[in-house]
Amino acid sequence: MKRVMFVCKKNSSRSQMAEGFAKSLGQDKIEVTSAGLEASQVRPEAIATMKDVGIDISDQTSNALSEFRPEDFDAVISLCGCGVNLPPEWLTRDYFDDWQLDDPAEQPEIFPRVRDEVEERVKTLIEGLV
């Protein structure tokens, strides 16, 4: 089973949505977690937006990437362009991608659009990994 890490700056929105979709869509296919370059809090808008599509991420927590070991993951996905700021050991996993999605925290009205983009990319990722 492939192990996937979703990374974002603060692990508050995009990476949390990706984790939620991956857990739901990749159940029994992949193991998934998310982290940020720094930890913060899961944004209420992310929770509400995911709830709109039937996925509950209210129990997810924001974690710092430094709490994890890169060798424990097969795939690393940056959602915000922060790949350039990741330590090299995270960039050299079997699979690395940087999706560079817009930050809905700066424009709350785009949460649904970003959520839908995350869902499509997670579906494609799962298909490619399994």
Q: Could you list the active site residues?
A: 8, 80
For the record, the structure tokens of 21 come out as 């979709």
How does strand 75-78 pair with strand 2-8? parallel
Cα separation, 69 vs 46, in Å, equals: 26
Handedness of CA 117, 69, 42, 104 (dihedral sign): negative
DSSP 9-56: SSSSSHHHHHHHHHHHHSTTTEEEEEEESS-----HHHHHHHHTTT--
- Taken as a whole, the chain contains a residue count of 130
Residue pair 65/35 in contact (Cβ under 8 Å)? The answer is: yes
